[in-house]
Structure 1
């Protein structure tokens, strides 16, 4: 199901957004995103996927801001 959605929409959306053919796709670690069939689909369609590390504050901008939001409170 997920690969059908990707197949129908991803390349068209990338084109509509003006991305070149070497764009990098980002998704989280939801099981449907990490399934072998999904990995195979990305490889077959020559689409680069950014690795998403569990609990990575580097890729979650708000995690880097919490310390500044807490300072005025304490």
Structure 2
């Protein structure tokens, strides 16, 4: 999802992500659905926490300063580096959105699978566990 204007506030997060996307997806998955989000301000705002509680959507506890164990964070890094390697940086939000779609489509599925398979190594690394948790 790309926001054409403004910042992601708690109200926007609730109204543009949680309500139209997360709630139906949680309903489709059914019991056992667990929302994974970090501690970004919009995610932990009272209005969003209340919405999740009212909808019966459980969110994973996420410790402060925890390592990025979500593979999507690494995909964002791959996409960012790919965009920066182009000679002309996107000048508008639409150009950036188009560039993101293009580089997303160029990521080999095997690279995504590799990141997912690497998560247990990160999870059980005593150095990470000792420092962050």
* TM-score bin, normalised by smaller chain: 0.5 to 0.7
Give the one of 21, 35, 38 matched to 1:28: 38
Contact 1:25–1:48 at 8 Å: present in 2 too?
A: yes
* Structure 1: tracts of 5 or more residues without a match: 68-74
User: Does the Cα contact within 8 Å between 1:22 and 1:47 map onto a contact in 2?
Assistant: no
* Unaligned stretches of 5+ residues in structure 2: 1-11, 70-118, 129-133
**Structure ID, larger Rg:** 2
Query: Which residues of 2 match residues 34-49 of structure 1 at below 5 A?
Result: 34-49=44-59
TM-score w.r.t. structure 2 length?
Answer: 0.40
Runs of 4+ in 1 over 4 A off after TM superposition: none
- 2:13 match: 2
Counterpart Cα distance in 2 of 1:46 and 1:29: 19
RMSD: 2.5
**Deviation per residue, 1:16-40 (Å, 9 max, x gap):** xxx2233110100000001000110
TM-score, scaled to structure 1: 0.67
Q: Higher helix fraction: Structure 1 or Structure 2?
A: 2
Tell which has more relative contact order, 1 or 2 (C-alpha 8 A, sep 6+).
1
